[in-house]
Amino acid sequence: MHRETPDELAREVVELLDDGAKRERIDRRARARIEERYTWEEIRPELLGRVNDVLE
């Protein structure tokens, strides 16, 4: 949600609170996107690199 004013953001939040079906649609799309982008194969090299940096 990218809104220009606090009032616009508040209206959008209230709408989501009132609309369970919309919340579920957003949730499903967000979860699918996260699962596609952040697989173990994708994050492993960066994670291991950071761990190695800390241990050095």
3-state secondary structure the chain: CCCCCHHHHHHHHHHHHHCHHHHHHHHHHHHHHHHHHCCHHHHHHHHHHHHHHHHC
CA distance 11 to 17: 10
| pLDDT score for 1 | 61
Closest CA to 1 of 11, 19, 12: 12
For the chain, the maximum distance between any two Cα atoms, rounded to a whole number of angstroms, is: 51
Average pLDDT over residues 5-29: 95
pTM: 0.60
Query: Which pLDDT score is estimated for 4?
Result: 86
